[in-house]
Amino acid sequence: MNSDLDRIESYYLEKLRSDPLGKEVCSESDFESQVKLLQEAGATEDEANQVASMFQCRPFHQVYDYILDQIQAEVESAVRACNANLPGKVLLRTLPTGFANAGAVNAPGGYLVTVRAELFQVIYRVCKVFCHSLDFIMLESPSGSRPLSEIAGFAPSGWTQSQAISSLVEIYDSLVDKHTVYHAPRHEIPMGQRQAFLDQIVYFAELFAVSHEYAHVLHGHCDESLESISAVERFHNEFAADDLALTLLLAPADLRNENRDAALDANYRVAGACIMFCVQVLLEACRSTDENLGFKSRAGAEYPSPMERLVRMLNSVKQRYPDWITQFADAVMIWSAGVMPALIAEVRGADEIKWIAENAKLRSQDDA
């Protein structure tokens, strides 16, 4: 008799058969196209070849397995550290195509958690824009207000807020126009001093996304039929999953020790979680109907808005944990407040920006 994981794997392979790239392998032309894209973006020939080689002659659905294996091991270790018990076996896999998202479903033998390959690319690209933006994100320091890049000791990149907004619009356009390279590499172009910063933010954003789906499994949300869950319950299920995902994300962090390494690790973890909501804002803007982009969710919305989730999570962190772990997360909040409304204004027009401004006022009244 097959094991539970074998049964879940069979269920996953059945879903994969309906994916346009489910049976495809990265070809020589894919490799050459990838090298060309990387060189056009500024990589040297050696850098482009090294990165693109990760994808050569490999099935599309296995391109990100090296990331998922590490993430699954850390999430399940965190589950054990929190003295929680998964209700069954969980298989974590990639689906090559489809709109960027992650999900968890009940499957024969346990649960299947899937991450669309496009989500890896969008996370990477948004995080990269954020890392380039550190020059104009101002934070308070003992010597006064200073750019985060200066506080971190990075050489200036010269980026302005308008460049960051333009880059986010490009990501939006690539998603809407379906020009996304589904198997885009995680490390496209070296970022110099900022590479380690970028790597950490990207990894913990991905880790939070998967932790959120594990949280749905732990809460039993996958065992409920969609027909039996009200819109209100579905709305609050997202908050519950956010809370538990944050707990899982911070389980390995040393929050009792404010030394440099412990502080950096905790800061990266919280910032990675927060930037996932910025990714969700961009993805929400790509949807053709029922945009839910304000700091307060729209009345009757099936799910809370990403910005409301971001504010709620940051407030929760500040209440539950030492204030020294939120410096990078504060930077994400400052950055999102500056660039996300401008992004929405660019792609959705004045009505949407007015909605966000009104919600920002409501939020400030709540905080007062």
pLDDT at 185: 45
pLDDT at 368: 44
Per-residue pLDDT tens over the stretch 109-142: 999 999 988 888 889 889 999 999 999 998 877 7
Asked if 214 and 241 count as a contact pair (C-beta separation under 8 A), the reply is no
Q: If you average pLDDT over residues 274-296, what whole number do you get?
A: 80
* Token pair of 121 as six digits: 């690319």
Q: How many residues does the chain have?
A: 368
Lowest model confidence (mean pLDDT) among 14-18, 60-64, 295-299, 359-363: 359-363
Lowest model confidence (mean pLDDT) among 19-33, 143-157, 221-235, 239-253: 19-33
pTM comes to 0.85
pLDDT at 182 over 60: no
| CA 240/CA 244 separation, integer angstroms | 6
Neighbours of 365 (CB within 10 A): 8
pLDDT at 170: 86
pLDDT at 52 over 80: no
Q: Comparing C-alpha atoms, which of 291, 296, 293 is closest to residue 308?
A: 296
Per-residue pLDDT tens over the stretch 330-362: 999 999 989 998 888 888 775 555 545 555 554
Q: Calculate the average pLDDT of the chain.
A: 82
pLDDT at 42 over 80: no
Q: How confident is the model at residue 48 (pLDDT cuts 50, 70, 90)?
A: low
Phi/psi region, residue 359 (left: phi>0; alpha: psi -120 to 50; beta: rest), is alpha
Please give the residue that has the higher pLDDT: either 268 or 223. 268
For 96-159, strand residue ranges (E) read 102-107, 110-116, 138-141, 144-147
Q: How confident is the model at residue 268 (pLDDT cuts 50, 70, 90)?
A: very high
| CA 213/CA 104 separation, integer angstroms | 6
Per-residue pLDDT tens over the stretch 73-98: 999 999 999 999 999 999 999 887 77
Lowest model confidence (mean pLDDT) among 22-31, 140-149, 164-173, 247-256: 22-31
